[in-house]
């Protein structure tokens, strides 16, 4: 393990943690523009974080240690996930520990903890949000795995860095119809998993329609800041998984120089800007679904991913 | 696996798009959106025919692409839209039974069609032969759509989608049918849609609804 790989690894995580709020701010800004509102500044999420970290945390009297440790666990899981995903460089010492299936497991761990913490206090909205979150999660997870299987089948590896290197090195521009299916399915899973509009509204103030917000109602101050930061980081991670699978151009390969790394960071920022704008457009043009329509939406995603597998097997044979 | 040419890859992507649109139609409730999807399917069909014409250097395919563009992208959706407005069912939705189940049945149909197409497509010599499975699944999915729908308009849309699938099958297996037959089919479809339009008004006059399940009830007079 050389020093550059270590720097790339640590730098990648720090970059992810630092840029996740900016991405969230960018999406909010684009949405505001599309809705003819005055946009909040790009760094608004950072201001929110500063405000929250300065406040004193208020805890319910019957809060257990689980409730207090969950924000740290969730944030840690998301930072760990950022270490596995090749966002800037594929030379990741951490990525050898865990492949993409373990990555899905990491997301699941975070979800389980946040749902447990939501039920810990025993308020109605918390447990309702937890139940909904688990429902969405158990439908979204197989769809995500199927999307990943599409690329695993194509490249014969379950490690994301290998997938990226294979795409960039050997194939160049190759159109895979199965990747089109997987891409659409992935966008649907991304929307559902990150509490975005067709499934959940991130800016809602109506408790009855909440999923993610209902779960974190009881949190305040630094705990809330960490949870929010972790959810932005989750969006960032999903975006980076999407880039690794479907648009891996510009990611620095093994044994790349420092200049190449800098170039990769610029590429990443450009891709995130485009992805954030597209996300804002999707959120603006679509209406929130009723919660009972969520299984339909996600089974559609699952189905598209399976179709991708089938199309690959048929057209390549 | 021999490396595929860019044209073949593009054709595969277009075929995949056709399949995706079929599934979107299967799960779409709004009639208006269904007509848009039908027009999109026609557009993808036009693109794939153009591409096949370019790769195989067959001038008559250009004509059939032009025919597809005029008939399936512009004329048919336009007639259907007009019909919908005249019937006053613009925002109407067709209640569907359990979309996830329908999707799973559709998935089974796709597997069936792919298995069926495998031995046939190995005999064909065209560059587009791999897409026969997709064409057959588009046909079967349109069938499924006609079975699962209640309203007359959506059943007609399913019928038109089925014709799209057949046309795609013809293009990808034998580079299209002779021009006379193609013109005949195009005209037949057009006349068919007109007659359906008259039927819609008749059905509505008789039953006050376009729900075809009303036709099953016996009526004494």
Tell me which residue range forms the domain holding B19. Answer: 6-89+100-213
> Does residue B201 lie within any of the structural domains?
yes
- Cβ contact, residue pair A296, B27, below 8 Å: yes
B9/A contact by beta carbon, under 8 A: yes
Contact check, Cβ <8 Å, B130/A311: no
> Model confidence over B12-52: pLDDT tens digits?
888 888 988 998 888 887 888 888 999 999 999 999 888 88
- Does residue B220 lie in a domain region? no
**Long-range pairs of B90-95 with CB within 8 A, sequence gap ≥ 24:** B90/B31, B90/B32, B91/B30, B91/B32, B92/B30, B92/B31, B92/B151, B93/B29, B93/B30, B93/B31, B94/B29, B94/B31, B94/B149, B94/B150, B94/B151, B94/B154, B95/B29, B95/B150
pLDDT for B215 equals 72
Kindly state whether B206 is in contact with chain A, defined as any CB-CB distance less than 8 angstroms: no
State the Cα–Cα distance between residues B14 and B18, nearest whole angstrom.
6
B10 touches chain A (CB under 8 A): yes
pLDDT, averaged per 10 consecutive residues of chain A (317 residues), comes to 77 88 91 88 90 87 88 92 84 79 90 90 86 90 91 82 76 69 90 84 74 83 90 92 83 74 85 91 85 84 88 73
Q: Tell me, yes or no, whether B94 lies in a domain.
A: no
Q: Give the Cα separation of A133 and A231 in Å (integer).
A: 13
Q: Does residue B1 sit within a domain? A: no
Stretch (H or E) spanning A260: helix A258-285
Please report the pLDDT score of residue B1 as a whole number: 41
- The pLDDT tens digits of the residues spanning B61-102 come to 888 888 888 888 888 888 888 888 887 776 666 666 777 888
d(CA A53, CA A55): 6
pTM beyond 0.80: the answer is: yes
CA distance B159 to chain A (A): 23
Q: What's the structural domain count of chain B?
A: 1
């Amino acid at each position: 393990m050389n020093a550059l790989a270590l720097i790339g690894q640590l730098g990648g995580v720090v970059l992810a943690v630092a840029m996740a709020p900016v991405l969230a701010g960018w999406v909010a800004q684009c949405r505001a523009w599309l809705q003819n509102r005055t946009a909040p500044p790009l760094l608004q999420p950072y201001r929110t974080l500063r405000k929250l970290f300065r406040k004193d945390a208020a805890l319910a009297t019957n809060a257990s240690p689980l409730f207090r440790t969950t924000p740290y666990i969730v944030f840690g899981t998301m930072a760990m996930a950022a270490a596995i995903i090749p966002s800037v460089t594929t030379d990741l010492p951490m990525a050898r520990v865990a492949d993409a299936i373990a990555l899905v497991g990491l997301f699941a761990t975070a979800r389980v903890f946040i749902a447990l913490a939501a039920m810990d206090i025993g308020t109605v909205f918390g447990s309702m949000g937890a139940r909904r979150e688990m429902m969405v999660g158990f439908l979204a997870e197989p769809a995500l795995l199927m999307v990943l299987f599409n690329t695993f089948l194509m490249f014969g590896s379950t490690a994301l860095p290998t997938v990226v290197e294979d795409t960039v090195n050997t194939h160049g521009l190759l159109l895979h119809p199965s990747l089109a299916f997987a891409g659409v399915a992935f966008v649907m899973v991304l929307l559902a998993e990150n509490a975005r509009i067709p499934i959940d509204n991130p800016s809602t103030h109506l408790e009855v329609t909440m999923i993610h917000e209902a779960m974190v109602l009881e949190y305040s101050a630094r705990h809330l800041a960490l949870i929010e930061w972790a959810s932005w980081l989750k969006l960032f991670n999903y975006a980076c998984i999407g880039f690794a699978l479907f648009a891996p151009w510009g990611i620095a390969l093994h044994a790349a120089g420092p200049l190449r790394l800098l170039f990769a960071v610029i590429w990443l920022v450009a891709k995130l800007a485009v992805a954030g704008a597209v996300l804002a457009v999707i959120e603006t043009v679509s209406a929130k679904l009723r919660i009972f329509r969520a299984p339909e939406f996600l089974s559609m995603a699952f189905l598209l991913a399976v179709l991708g597998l089938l199309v690959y097997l048929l057209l390549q044979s | 696996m021999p490396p595929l040419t860019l044209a073949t890859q593009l054709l595969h992507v277009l075929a995949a798009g056709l399949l995706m649109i079929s599934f979107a139609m299967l799960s779409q409730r709004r009639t208006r959106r269904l007509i848009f999807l039908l027009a999109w399917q026609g557009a993808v069909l036009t693109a794939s025919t153009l591409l096949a014409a370019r790769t195989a250097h067959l001038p008559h395919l250009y004509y059939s692409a032009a025919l597809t563009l005029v008939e399936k992208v512009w004329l048919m959706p336009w007639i259907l839209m007009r019909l919908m407005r005249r019937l006053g069912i613009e925002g109407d939705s067709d209640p569907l039974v359990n979309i996830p189940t329908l999707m799973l049945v559709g998935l089974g149909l796709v597997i069936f069609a792919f298995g069926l197409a495998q031995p046939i497509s190995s005999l064909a010599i065209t560059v587009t032969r791999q897409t026969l499975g997709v064409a057959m699944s588009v046909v079967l999915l349109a069938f499924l759509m006609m079975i699962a729908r209640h309203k007359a308009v959506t059943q007609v849309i399913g019928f038109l989608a089925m014709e799209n699938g057949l046309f795609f099958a013809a293009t990808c297996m034998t580079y299209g049918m002779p021009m006379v037959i193609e013109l005949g089919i195009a005209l037949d479809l057009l006349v068919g849609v007109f007659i359906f339009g008259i039927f819609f008004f008749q059905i509505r006059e008789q039953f006050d609804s376009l729900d075809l399940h009303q036709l099953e009830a016996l009526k004494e007079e």
